Amino acid sequence: MNIYFRTNFNSQLGIGHLSRTYNLYCELKKTHACKIIIDKKPKNIPFFSNDKEFIFLYHKKKFVSENNDASLFIKKIFRTKKNIIIVDDYRLGERWEKKISPYCHKIIAIEDFINKKHNVDILVNTKPKLTNVDVKTLKIIKSNNKKNTKLLLGKKYSITNEFFNMKHIFKKSKHLTLTFYNGGSGSILIFEKIINFILKKKKKIIINLVCGPLAKNTDLVRANFKRYRNVRIINDYNSFLRTLLSTNLFVGSCGIISFELAKICLPSILLILNKNQEADQNEFKEIGHHFVLKKEDLKDFKKFSLLVMLCLNNFERIKKIMRLSNYNKSTDGKKLIIKSILEK
């Protein structure tokens, strides 16, 4: 049985969909033939994958509609009906799924919204607020899906990199360490004023600037901070993961990383930078995050910088509070999803 993942990433969308798809892919490829289908071959495949793992759906053309995409998808991969399809793409929904359903054994959708219509066998939505879902919300989700759709809802199904499911020993340093990250495609320069303010106020500090694989202005980031010996530019994924083990405070965008940081109880200040990241404060508290701000809060960079320094000086207390959420002790969401996928 072959397993195909339909997802996408680009400089506007970021790499969040590809990231969680890839985490599932790494687990499933141990026992099954798997491929990831994306639109086009990009100039820079993200740092955790290689060309051989992908099938490219478009060449000179580009995405037009769900119907057109489904037709190309069917032509490209279907030689047997024993395929399992896992789709994680905001552009694709009920119409796409209905068109490919006669050609496959099972369809699974990974979704972030509750109002989108689907025609799948399994629906995965990891929003923390869906862990103890209220009757009204559940009714909305059910009305947008088939009667027999299996619903996997809430934080216990979060799809995280295997690194965050392992036990780690955090490295102690003489200096406090601060890590900035603006997702796979965002520019670190949105934090530039804050970083410069902190560097002036706090001499004994190490600052890591993580530039994602599709990040903008990486050369400018290097040029602007090359004079500082205590500022490190990181653009390799494995180096980024190792960096987290010596980080006292993380500052960056929300997304899948929110779940991953919570798994290892890493004190964080998170920023809602995109619509799909929007949630109420209680959702983030569910997984241990108590400092969640909006993009507009960056405008008052002095106030933001003071919050960063306050959290940095109290990172041990924040870590203790994070442990109270018990999210870090939760089961591996990937394995729960895979168990449902492979059930007959």
Are residues 133 and 191 both part of a single domain?
no
pLDDT (average), residues 49-58: 83
Evaluate if residue 45 carries a pLDDT over 70: no
- How far is Cα 248 from Cα 172, in angstroms, rounded to an integer? 9
Predicted pLDDT at 12: 75
One-letter amino acid identity for 266? L
Contact 322, 262 (CB under 8 A): yes
Residue with tokens 């059930």: 343
pLDDT (average), residues 134-163: 93
Evaluate if residue 278 carries a pLDDT over 70: no
Number of domains within the chain: 2
Are residues 59 and 194 both part of a single domain?
no
The model's pLDDT over 296-320, given as tens digits with 9 standing for 90+, comes to: 999 999 999 999 999 999 999 999 9
**Phi, psi of 313, rounded to the nearest 5 degrees:** -75, -15
Dump the DSSP string for 316-335.
HHHHHHHHTT-GGGS--HHH
Q: What domain range is 66 assigned to?
A: 2-162+331-342
Evaluate if residue 174 carries a pLDDT over 90: no
Are residues 135 and 78 both part of a single domain?
yes
Are residues 170 and 310 both part of a single domain?
yes
CATH of the domain at 26: 3.40.50.11190
Q: What are the structure tokens assigned to 226, written together?
A: 């090359």
Evaluate if residue 144 carries a pLDDT over 70: yes
| H/E element, 344 | none
Instruction: Give pTM, 2 decimals.
Output: 0.91
Question: pLDDT-based confidence at 44, cuts 50/70/90?
Answer: low
Are residues 137 and 62 both part of a single domain?
yes
Residues in the chain: 344
Are residues 183 and 323 both part of a single domain?
yes
Are residues 240 and 146 both part of a single domain?
no
Checking DSSP bridges between strand 176-181 and strand 150-153, what pairing results, if any?
Answer: unpaired
Checking DSSP bridges between strand 84-88 and strand 106-110, what pairing results, if any?
Answer: parallel
Cβ neighbours for 116, distance < 8 A, ≥ 6 positions apart: 93, 144
Question: pLDDT-based confidence at 169, cuts 50/70/90?
Answer: confident
Are residues 230 and 248 both part of a single domain?
yes
The model's pLDDT over 202-225, given as tens digits with 9 standing for 90+, comes to: 889 999 999 988 888 889 999 999
The angle formed by the CA atoms of residues 255, 209 and 27, to the nearest 5 degrees, is 45
- How far is Cα 83 from Cα 72, in angstroms, rounded to an integer? 16
Question: pLDDT-based confidence at 48, cuts 50/70/90?
Answer: low
Are residues 221 and 237 both part of a single domain?
yes
Evaluate if residue 131 carries a pLDDT over 70: yes
Predicted pLDDT at 190: 92
CATH of the domain at 204: 3.40.50.2000
Give the mean pLDDT of the chain: 89
Contact 308, 178 (CB under 8 A): yes
Evaluate if residue 165 carries a pLDDT over 90: no
Are residues 15 and 148 both part of a single domain?
yes
Are residues 81 and 220 both part of a single domain?
no
3-state percent breakdown (helix, strand, coil) of the chain, nearest 5: 40, 20, 40
Q: What are the structure tokens assigned to 327, written together?
A: 């999210």
Q: What are the structure tokens assigned to 282, written together?
A: 């209680």
Cβ neighbours for 150, distance < 8 A, ≥ 6 positions apart: 121, 122, 123, 340
Are residues 62 and 80 both part of a single domain?
yes
The model's pLDDT over 326-342, given as tens digits with 9 standing for 90+, comes to: 777 767 899 999 999 99
pLDDT (average), residues 269-294: 80
pLDDT (average), residues 165-169: 76
The model's pLDDT over 23-38, given as tens digits with 9 standing for 90+, comes to: 999 999 999 999 999 9
Q: What are the structure tokens assigned to 121, written together?
A: 């066998």
The model's pLDDT over 102-127, given as tens digits with 9 standing for 90+, comes to: 989 999 999 999 999 999 999 999 98
Residue with tokens 């994602």: 212
Q: What are the structure tokens assigned to 60, written together?
A: 């000179």
Compute how many other C-beta atoms are within 10 angstroms of the C-beta atom of residue 266. Answer: 26
Predicted pLDDT at 344: 76
How would you classify residue 255: left for phi > 0, otherwise alpha for psi between -120 and 50, otherwise beta? left
